[in-house]
């Protein structure tokens, strides 16, 4: 088959010339991995600041941190947005600093170690975001009931 292609295209044609230069790709690998590792924390920081500084005024199904109990009333919605903003801004800022240190060490690593470090970093980011959503949901459930009314504190119940 290869001989047929060479005859068809001429004797001077080398099909391996069509393949990309792998070393040129590996030279740019550290930049691509830095973008991949830092994209998540920066997006989380941006969303946290957006929910904190410019949250949607009322519950909707398009924009905002949506939780069933948080969408039951305006007060619950505002609490949910503020809580999500605080948690995600803090987590995004912390993860951005931590991932910056990790990305800074890429220049001294072999490409296999860079790939493994980036994979571990992205998995850790996803796990932290998942845990933060559980925390936000738990805080909303602790402060509001299913109908969106604020739960009374023990001091209010005794008086």
- Answer whether 51's CB lies under 8 Å from 81's CB: yes
Rounded to the nearest angstrom, the gap between the alpha carbon of residue 80 and the centroid of all alpha carbons in its chain is 19
In a domain, 3, yes or no: no
Provide the domain limits for residue 139: 21-56+63-158
Whether pTM exceeds 0.85:
no
Query: Facing residues of 48 across strands?
Result: none
In a domain, 103, yes or no: yes
- The mean per-residue pLDDT over the stretch 46-71 comes to 86
* Residue 12 pLDDT grade (very low, low, confident, very high; cuts 50, 70, 90): low
- Answer whether 118's CB lies under 8 Å from 37's CB: yes
In a domain, 14, yes or no: no
In a domain, 50, yes or no: yes
Instruction: Say how many domains are in the chain.
Output: 1
Residue 155 has a pLDDT of 47
In a domain, 84, yes or no: yes
Residue 30 has a pLDDT of 79
- Percent of the chain topping pLDDT 70: 79
Residue 15 has a pLDDT of 65
In a domain, 137, yes or no: yes
Q: Which of 37, 155, 51 has the alpha carbon at shortest distance from 106?
A: 37
In a domain, 27, yes or no: yes
In a domain, 2, yes or no: no
């Amino acid at each position: 088959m290869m001989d047929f292609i060479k005859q068809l295209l001429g004797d001077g044609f080398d099909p391996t010339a069509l393949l990309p230069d792998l070393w040129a790709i590996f030279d740019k690998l550290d930049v691509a991995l830095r973008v991949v590792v830092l994209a998540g924390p920066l997006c989380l920081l941006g969303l946290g600041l957006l929910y904190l500084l410019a949250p949607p005024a009322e519950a909707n199904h398009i924009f905002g941190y949506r939780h069933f109990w948080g969408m039951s009333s305006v007060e619950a919605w505002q609490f949910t947005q503020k809580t999500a903003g605080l948690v995600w801004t803090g987590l995004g800022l912390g993860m951005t600093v931590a991932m910056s240190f990790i990305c800074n060490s890429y220049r001294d690593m072999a490409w296999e170690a860079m790939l493994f470090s980036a994979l571990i970093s992205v998995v850790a980011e996803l796990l932290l975001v998942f845990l933060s959503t559980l925390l936000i949901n738990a805080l909303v459930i602790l402060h509001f009931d299913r109908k969106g009314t604020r739960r009374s504190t023990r001091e209010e119940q005794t008086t």
